[in-house]
Structure 1
Amino acid sequence: MSSPLSIDNTMGAALIGSVCAAVLYGVSCIQTWYYYDRYPTDAWYIKYLVASVWVFDTIHQVLISHTVYHYLVSNYTNPAMLANIIWSVLLEVLFNSLICLLVQGFLTMRVWRMSNKNKILTFIVLCLVIAEFVCSVVFVVQSMQLQTWLELSQLKGLSMAVNVLAAAGDALIAASLVFLLRRSRTGFKKSDTMISRLIVFTVNTGLFTSICAVMSLVSIIVWGNTLIYVAFYFSLGRLYSNSLLATLNARQEIRNLADEMDTLSLSFRSGPSSFGSGSKKPTNISIVIDTTQDFVRDRAMTMTDSETESPITDLKDEV
C-alpha cells in the first residue's frame, strides 16, 4: 500500500464492506429461521448444510467486525498501525471460502443429478469449485506469515485467481442449470411454470455472486493499492448464503404459483357456455377429460421419474 495511507479508500472501504456484510448477515439470519420453520421435513444433509453455512457466516461477520474495530477504534490514535495486518482480516478469507465451497458444492451436486450424472460437466464444475477453495487456503496460509499490507501485495496473483475462479464457477453452474431446466420443459403449464421460476432464481443468484466477484477482481487490478476490493469481498460469502437460502425458501411459493395457475385454467374451462342455452353436461365432461389427462400425465411422469431424475421431483425431495 502506498504511503501516506488514504483512509477513505482503505479503512473507509473496509468499513463500508463490513456494514454491507452485516446487513446481508441479518437477512441470512431471517432466512435461516424461515427455512427451519417452513421446511422441517427436509433431508438431514440439507439441514446440516444450512446450519453450517449460517455458522460460517456468523464467524466471518465476527472476524470482519473485529478487523474494522481494531483499526478504527482500538488504534484510532495510532495511525501507524494502519500499515500492519491484523490476523482477523486474513482468517476471514478461509470462512468466506468455506461458504463458497458449501454452496457451490451443493449446486454442483444438482448439476450432476439434473444432467443424468454427466461426468464431464460435473468434473469441470467441480474442478473450478475445488481450485477456488485451494487457492483461498493457500492465500490464508501464506498471508499469515506476513506483517504489513505492503507485503500482502505480493499475493495479488492469488487474490485475482480466487475471484476469477469464483466468477467462472458461478457462471458455469448457472449456465448449466439454466440449460438443463430449459431442456426439461414438458409442455404442461404447471411443470413449465415451476421450471420458468427456477430459471429466474438460478440466473439471479448466479448473477449477484458473479458480479461481486468480478467487481472485487476489477478493484484489485485497477485500485490495487487500496482496500476497495475488500468492500466487495466482505459481502461475497453473504451473497452465497443468501442465494442458497432464497432458493430453498422459494420452493413452496413456486409450487403454489403453479397450482394457482392450474386452478385458474380449470375455472376457465369449467365456466358456462358462451351460447348460454346448453346444459352443464359438456362442462362436466370437459372436467372429467381434463382430470383423466392429468391422471395419465401424472402416471407418465411417475414412470419417467423412476428411470431418471426430474428437476421437479428433485426440487421437491431435496432442494
Structure 2
Amino acid sequence: MGILLISVVLSGARTNATSTSLWGVSCSQVLYYYIRFPNDPLSIKLLVGAVTASDTIHQALITHSIYWYLVTEYGNPRSLALLVKSIVVEVIFQCITGFLVQGYYTICVWRLSKGKLYLVIPVAAMVLTEFGLSLAYSIIALTRLETFSDLVQIKMLSACTNIFAAIPDVAIASILCTILYRSRTGSPKSNILINRLMVFAINTGLLTSVCACISLITFFAFPTTFIYICFYFLIGRLYANSLMAMLNARRSRRDGCNSDDTTVSLREVPTAGSNLTHCNVNAPSSPGGGRIAIRVNTTKEMKHEPMECNTAGTFGPDTV
C-alpha cells in the first residue's frame, strides 16, 4: 500500500507550495492552451477536453482506491487482498487516454507521410491492439477476479498490454523523425528548426515508452509488490502531458522566429538540395494537426564605403 500511495501522490494534484505533480502540470498546460490558442480547430479543442476528462477520471479512481484501502477499510487487514473495483476501472480510462493521444499521433503520421498506408496501417494496428488488450484485461478482472493473487491468471495479458504500450510510441517517434530528417534542406535556419521538431517527436514517445518498459520489468522482477503499478499509473499522465506540451510549444517555436522575415510552409518532403521556398509538409504541430510553418532568417546587408571625390569633382569609379 505504501507504493500505491506514492504512485497516487506522484500522479496527483499539487503536493506542496513548490512541487506540482503530473496531474497538476497537465491541468496548467490545458488552461494555458485554451487561453493562448482560441482559434484552434474544434476537433483539437475537443481532443484536449476528452484527454483531460479521461485523465482526471483516472486520477479520481486511483485516489478512491488508496482511500478505500487505507481509510474506509482501516483496521480490516483482509481487505488488503481484495481488488477494489476502482483500481480495475482505472485501466479503462488509462487506455482511453493513451488511445486518444496515440490516435492523434497516428493521424499526424498519415498527414506527414502524405497518406502512405504502409506506415500508417502498422501504427494504427498496434494502437488498436493495445486498446483492445487493455479493455480485455479490465473486463476479465472485473468479472472473474476478486483478489490480487487472482491476477496471476492474466499475467501474460498484463505483460502484452505493457509491451504494446511501448511499441507504438517508439514506432510513431521513429517515423516522425525519419520524415522530418528527410525534409532537411541546405538552409541552416530551416535545419535547426527541423532538428527541434525532431526532438519534440522523440519526446512524444520517449517517456511513455520508458515508463511502460520499467513497469514491465518490475512486473516480472517483483511480482509480489506494487512497484510496477507505480509506473503504470504514470503512463496515462505522461500521455496527457506530452500532448499538451507539443500543442503549447507551437507558440514558443513561433516566438523564437519573430525576427525572421521569410515564412515557408512545408507540405511536401523535399529532396536534398531542393529549393526550400517550394517545399511543403504536413506536420503534427500545427493547430489543425497539419502544417509546419518555418521562418527563415534572411539578412540584407548594405555595405557603405567612403565616397571619395576626385580632382574633377566627380565620384571615382571605385566608390560604392
TM-score interval (norm. to shorter): 0.7 to 0.9
Aligned residue type for 2:193: M
Counterpart residue number, 2:10 = 20
Q: How many Å separate the matches in 2 of 1:40 and 1:188?
A: 33
Q: 37, 56, 59: which is aligned to 2:57?
A: 59
Report the alpha carbon displacement of residue 204 of structure 1 after superposing the two structures with TM.
2.2
Are the aligned partners of 1:29 and 1:54 in contact in 2 as well (CA < 8 Å)? yes
Name the SS for the 1:93 alignment partner.
helix
Are the aligned partners of 1:213 and 1:232 in contact in 2 as well (CA < 8 Å)? yes
Distance change in 2, residues 1:172/1:298 (3 Å):
closer
Report the alpha carbon displacement of residue 44 of structure 1 after superposing the two structures with TM.
0.8
Are the aligned partners of 2:83 and 2:146 in contact in 1 as well (CA < 8 Å)? yes
Counterpart residue number, 2:288 = 318
Distance change in 2, residues 1:315/1:204 (3 Å):
closer
Q: How many Å separate the matches in 1 of 2:45 and 2:203?
A: 23
Instruction: Give the alignment of 1:265-304 within 5 angstroms.
Output: 294=262, 304=279
Deviation track 1:43-86 (CA, whole Å, cap 9, x = no partner) reads 11000000000000110000000000001111121111001110
Name the SS for the 2:286 alignment partner.
helix
Counterpart residue number, 2:47 = 49
Name the SS for the 1:208 alignment partner.
helix
% identical equivalent positions:
43
Q: How many Å separate the matches in 1 of 2:245 and 2:205?
A: 12
Name the SS for the 2:75 alignment partner.
coil
Are the aligned partners of 1:190 and 1:259 in contact in 2 as well (CA < 8 Å)? no
Report the alpha carbon displacement of residue 303 of structure 1 after superposing the two structures with TM.
5.6
Name the SS for the 2:223 alignment partner.
coil
Counterpart residue number, 1:198 = 197
Aligned residue type for 1:223: F
Q: How many Å separate the matches in 2 of 1:189 and 1:45?
A: 34
1 or 2, which has the higher helix percentage? 1
Aligned residue type for 1:15: L
Deviation track 1:96-134 (CA, whole Å, cap 9, x = no partner) reads 000000000000111111111110110000111000000
Q: How many Å separate the matches in 2 of 1:227 and 1:131?
A: 25
Are the aligned partners of 1:54 and 1:241 in contact in 2 as well (CA < 8 Å)? yes
Q: Which has the larger radius of gyration?
A: 2
Deviation track 1:193-226 (CA, whole Å, cap 9, x = no partner) reads 3222111112123111101000110111111121
Are the aligned partners of 2:44 and 2:287 in contact in 1 as well (CA < 8 Å)? no
How many residue pairs align between the two structures? 272
Counterpart residue number, 1:277 = none
Counterpart residue number, 1:121 = 119
Q: How many Å separate the matches in 2 of 1:76 and 1:190?
A: 62
Residue 30 of structure 1 pairs with residue 20 of structure 2: no
Report the alpha carbon displacement of residue 91 of structure 1 after superposing the two structures with TM.
0.2
**Uncovered stretches (5+) of structure 2, i.e. residues with no partner:** 13-20, 267-274, 290-320
Q: How many Å separate the matches in 2 of 1:122 and 1:133?
A: 17
Name the SS for the 1:186 alignment partner.
coil
Q: Identify which range, 207-216 or 194-203, moves more after superposition.
A: 194-203
Counterpart residue number, 2:248 = 249
Counterpart residue number, 2:237 = 238
Q: What is the Cα-based RMSD across aligned positions, in Å?
A: 1.9
Report the alpha carbon displacement of residue 190 of structure 1 after superposing the two structures with TM.
4.0
Residue 147 of structure 1 pairs with residue 117 of structure 2: no
Q: How many Å separate the matches in 1 of 2:96 and 2:236?
A: 9
Name the SS for the 2:153 alignment partner.
helix
Name the SS for the 1:316 alignment partner.
coil
Distance change in 2, residues 1:317/1:304 (3 Å):
farther
Residue 87 of structure 1 pairs with residue 77 of structure 2: no
Are the aligned partners of 2:247 and 2:285 in contact in 1 as well (CA < 8 Å)? no
Report the alpha carbon displacement of residue 316 of structure 1 after superposing the two structures with TM.
3.1
Counterpart residue number, 1:102 = 100
Q: How many Å separate the matches in 1 of 2:288 and 2:205?
A: 20
Deviation track 1:125-174 (CA, whole Å, cap 9, x = no partner) reads 01110000000000010000211111122111111111100111111111
Name the SS for the 1:226 alignment partner.
coil
Q: How many Å separate the matches in 2 of 1:161 and 1:178?
A: 26
Are the aligned partners of 1:216 and 1:230 in contact in 2 as well (CA < 8 Å)? yes
Are the aligned partners of 1:190 and 1:258 in contact in 2 as well (CA < 8 Å)? no
Counterpart residue number, 2:131 = 133
Counterpart residue number, 2:270 = none
Counterpart residue number, 2:215 = 216
Q: How many Å separate the matches in 1 of 2:244 and 2:121?
A: 25
Deviation track 1:283-303 (CA, whole Å, cap 9, x = no partner) reads xxxxxxxxxxx58x7797676
Counterpart residue number, 1:164 = 163
Report the alpha carbon displacement of residue 229 of structure 1 after superposing the two structures with TM.
0.8
